[in-house]
A and B are shown apart, each in its own frame.
Chain A
Amino acid sequence: MLQSSVLFRYSLGGARLHLLLLTVVSWSLLRGAREGMVWGFIGGLALDFLSGLPMGTCAFTLTIAAYLASLGQLTIYRTSPLFAPGLALAISIVHDSILLTLLSFIGYAPAWAELLLRVAIPTAILGAFVMPLVQRGLTWLHRRTLPEEMEL
C-alpha cells in the first residue's frame, strides 16, 4: 500500500524507492531463502494487484530476488557494513532486468536502455543508500519474532 499510494510521489530524478524489494532482500538475508521467497511471492502478488502490470510479474521477480539475496547468507562478507547495500544494489538491477525481460516475453515493448539507465540504476543506487535503514528495522523485527531457542 505504501509502495503504491505513498512512495510513488517521491522521486529523485528517475529513482523511486522500491521498499518492498529492499524488505524482501533484507528478510532473506536474515531468515533465509524459504521465508524470503514466501514474503517475496506474497508481496509481489500484492504489488501486482495494485500496479498496472500483469498479475504474477512482480511475484515472479521478487521471488527470484529473495532467492538470490538468500545466497548472501553463505558469504564471508555478510558481516561487512557495505555488504547489504551492495547486495541490494546488485539485486535491484537484476530484479528490474528480469522484470523487463518478462515484460518483453509477454508482449510489452519496454525501452530497455532508457529504463535501465534512467530508472533501474538510479533506483538501485537509492535503494543501496536506504538499505541500512531498512535492515536495521527488520533486524529488530527479526529478533522480536525469532522462535525461542530450546534450552537443552
Chain B
Amino acid sequence: MQRGGTLLFLLLFLSLAVMTLILDRSDRLQPVKSLVAQVSSPIQEVLTSAMGGLTDFRQLYVDMRACTAENEELQLMVDQLIIENVRLREAEIENVTLREQLNFKQANPSFELLSAQVIGRDPSNLAGYLIIDRGTDEGVAVGMPVLTHRGLAGRVTETAPHSAKVLLITDPSSAVNALIQESRATGVVQGRVGQGLTMRYIQQTEEIKPGDLVLTSGLGGNFPTRLIIGQVTGVTKKDVELFQEAEVRPSVDFGRLEMVMVLTSFEPIVFEEEQQVSQR
C-alpha cells in the first residue's frame, strides 16, 4: 500500500516536472524565470566573487611558491654567471697581455723571449723584487734581462729550478747604463724608493728636457741596447755640480705587473772573468 502511495507520489512529481518542461518550451515561464534571476543573480555574484578571491589567493600562494623557487634558481644562475664573467674578464685581460707580448716578439725577432708569470713580490715593499714562475729548468739564468712589451723591468738575480728572483730597475741597488734617445747623452739610471728612477752622471753640456725617451745604452754589457726604460719628467742642473740629473718615469707600470718576458737569448758580459782571461 505504502509502495503504491510512493509510486503515485513519484508520478505526481514527474508529471509536474514534465508540465514545467512543456510550459518552459512554450515560453510561458519567462516572467517567473526573470523574477528568480533578479533575486538570485546578486547572491550568485557575491558567491562568485568570494570564490574568485579565494581562488586568486590560492593561485597567489602557488605563484609565490613558484616565484620563490624560480628566484632561487635565477639567483644561483646569477652567481654562476658572475663567476663565469670574472673568469672571462681575467681571460680577456690575459689575452690582451699575451697579444702585446706577441707583438713585442714579432717586432723584435732576434729576441728569444720566455713568458713568465709574476707569482710573488717582496712583501716589505722596500725592495724592488719579483718572483717569477720560470727557472733554470726552463732556461732562465742569472743576469738575463726581464722585460715587458712596454720596456725594461729588471734583471734575474737568483734562480731555482722552477722560479727566479728578478731585481727591478726601480730598486735602489739597481743601476742601468742608459742614454737619451734625442741627444744621445749617456748616464746611469738608478732606482729610487717609491718606484721612481733617476738618471745620474749626465754631462752638464748635454741638452735634455722633459719628454725625452730614456733607453738602455748597452754599455757595461748587462743589458742589450735600445730597450725603453722610461721618459724624462724633470731635469736638475746645478752649475756647482759636475753632472746633471734627470727624473725618469718608468715606462713599465710596476704596480700592475702580472706577466713578464725573460730575454733568454742575451748573455750578459761579466767583466771580471774577461779580465782574468786576458791576463792569462
Query: Which residues on B sit within 8 Å (CB–CB) of A40?
Result: 13
Q: Does A146 contact B (CB under 8 A)?
A: no
Q: How far is the CB of B185 from chain A (nearest CB, A)?
A: 95
Q: Count A interface residues, CB 8 Å.
A: 28
Interface residues of B, dominant DSSP: helix
Q: In the complex, A34 Cα to B37 Cα: how many Å?
A: 29
Are B17 and A60 within 8 A (Cβ)?
yes
Q: How far is the CB of A114 from chain B (nearest CB, A)?
A: 24
A37-B9, A55-B29 known; A50 vs B24 contact (CB < 8 Å): no
Q: In the complex, A57 Cα to B29 Cα: how many Å?
A: 14
Q: Does A45 contact B (CB under 8 A)?
A: yes
Stretch of B44-52, B113-121, B188-196, B225-233 on the interface side:
B44-52
Are B6 and A57 within 8 A (Cβ)?
no
Interface residues of A, dominant DSSP: helix
Are B17 and A44 within 8 A (Cβ)?
yes
Q: Could you show 25 A-B contacts with beta carbons less than 8 Å apart? A: A1-B40, A1-B47, A4-B44, A5-B48, A34-B6, A41-B17, A44-B17, A48-B24, A49-B33, A49-B37, A50-B40, A50-B44, A55-B20, A55-B29, A55-B33, A56-B22, A57-B17, A57-B21, A59-B13, A59-B16, A60-B14, A60-B17, A64-B10, A64-B14, A106-B25
Which A residues form the contact surface with B (CB < 8 A)?
1-2, 4-6, 9, 33-34, 37-38, 40-41, 44-45, 48-50, 54-57, 59-60, 63-64, 67, 70, 106
